[in-house]
Amino acid sequence: MRPGQTMGLCLVAGVGEAHGHLPERILRRAGLTQVVEAACARSGLRPPEYLPDGVCLTVADRSAADVRDLVRDICGAVRTEIRTGGGFRLALTAGLILPPGVAGQALAEAVRLLDSPEVRSASRRLPPSPLTVVVSDTLFHDAAASPADFHRVRLTRGHAAVAWLYAPDLPESVSAATSAGTGRTALPLIRRARRMIAKGDQDGPALHLLERALRLLPAPDGSSGETALLLLGDCHARLGQAEAAAQSWRYLLRHRSLCWPAYQRLGHLELGRARPDLAVAYLSAALRITRAHPDAVTDGTQCALLLGLCRAYEQLGDDRAADASLNDAADADPPNPLPFVARACRAAAHGDVQAVRQLLATALLRVSREQRTEFLRKHFQGVGSWKGGDLIVGVLSENGFDTTALNQPANIPRPPAG
């Protein structure tokens, strides 16, 4: 990468040429520009750049979660503050961005998505919405918080590619003042809470922010409510309040029954509470949802769910089901090393040294040399306390890895589950 070049996110907003006469389009562009400018100010971002048909914002060194909140803020404002019809479009991409005034890879892709005839055609098949949001395939897999809210679009112009249309299941009956006014007030609280949680030591203050946000939201069945409730449960769980976490996620599922991340969290929570039968039920539900909507999740999602099921079946003593889950996990995401790590752990528990050697070698081939030390630290911490962990330590030592730190106790001494 040359000096002046940065990897980041790009947002381009514009108005379709087919929507109204020129004076109306001018008013809509002015309204959209004001909305984006105000949203950037609320999010602490620099003002957008101006394009002939819209505005452009490039964001470097900011989390994808912040950009998600910015998009939701813009969506809410478009619904309530611009009353001159629809036709608004928003494109989000990730890639190479250049200094202001210079077109980079991310900007070029965003403009292409914004003008894509396939995207326009697909958006007409969705429920009417004042704003069409299209996300590049790379950014979707890296950052989509609620994959079920997206619809896959195959692009053919220029070269074959995939994009994702954002169509959240938001209740249209909610009044404009309520749905956007209070929702947009809650979004900064949710954003701040997410940042606190990411720091790892501010779960208590984050919990209070999320409780305030949920009081402001008109209903818990929109994407903002989903995010807030998922994070609320995460805070409770990290604070040792397991039942409060479970109640947060169960309440969410009463309103968003296809929210597989809630089922996944409940499954792992019940694993920690030694309730493997409930863990199987929750993780199986999440797996059914993701298999019914394969275009809305990544291969790694199903792999992680299947690894969790393997652990649950192990706790139940069902070795056949555990092995089947591991095999399915490896098939779901072939480049993923974790199914082979889990297989190595099972082989170690049975004292099969040769299998441990082969499986760990296969797993580590899927991890770059530069990342292996961090991979071992992340997934083998506390290995000495696992059943058969001494075999794993021995095999890693044979291959020249320093296992001293791995023998230190871990908070959850068990093989990885995705």
Phi-psi region of 20 (alpha: psi -120 to 50; beta: other; left: phi over 0): left
Per-residue pLDDT reduced to its tens digit, 12-48 = 877 765 555 555 666 677 777 788 888 888 777 777 8
Strands 88-97 and 161-166: unpaired
Question: Cα-flanking dihedrals φ and ψ of residue 400, to 5°?
Answer: 85, 15
21's enclosing H/E stretch is: none
- Burial of 232 per CB tally in 10 Å (0-12, 13-18, 19+): buried
Q: What count of other Cβ atoms lies within 10 Å of the Cβ of residue 6? A: 15
For residue 94, list its beta bridge partners: 9
Torsion sign over Cα 168, 172, 173, 176? positive
**Residue written as token pair 């394009």:** 51
- Nearest C-alpha neighbor of 313 from the set 324, 321, 303: 321
- Nearest C-alpha neighbor of 346 from the set 332, 362, 360: 360
Q: What is the DSSP string of 336-382?
A: -SHHHHHHHHHHHHTT-HHHHHHHHHHHHHTS-GGGHHHHHHHHHTT
Q: Which residues contact 229 (CB under 8 A, 6 or more apart)?
A: 214, 220, 248, 249, 251, 252, 262
pTM, full prediction: 0.57
Q: Quick one: pLDDT at residue 183?
A: 47
Crossing angle, helix 183-199 and helix 203-216, to 10 degrees? 170
For residue 133, list its beta bridge partners: 90, 166
> What is the Cβ-side half-sphere exposure of residue 143, based on CA atoms within 13 angstroms?
21
Tokens of 276: 């493997």
CB 54 within 8 A of CB 32: yes
Q: Quick one: pLDDT at residue 16?
A: 63
SS3 146: coil
Question: Cα-flanking dihedrals φ and ψ of residue 164, to 5°?
Answer: -130, 125
Q: Quick one: pLDDT at residue 61?
A: 57
pLDDT by residue, tens only, the chain of 418 residues? 454 455 667 778 777 655 555 556 666 777 777 888 888 887 777 778 777 667 787 776 555 556 767 777 787 777 766 655 556 788 888 776 666 555 567 788 888 888 888 888 887 777 667 777 888 887 776 666 566 667 788 887 555 478 888 765 433 333 333 344 444 578 888 988 988 988 887 888 998 889 888 888 866 667 788 899 999 999 989 999 888 899 889 888 988 889 999 999 999 999 999 999 999 999 999 999 999 988 777 778 999 999 999 999 999 999 999 999 999 999 999 999 999 999 998 899 889 999 999 999 999 999 988 888 888 888 888 887 888 888 888 888 888 888 776 765 544 445 555 4
Tokens of 54: 């819209």
Per-residue pLDDT reduced to its tens digit, 185-211 = 788 889 889 889 888 878 889 988 898
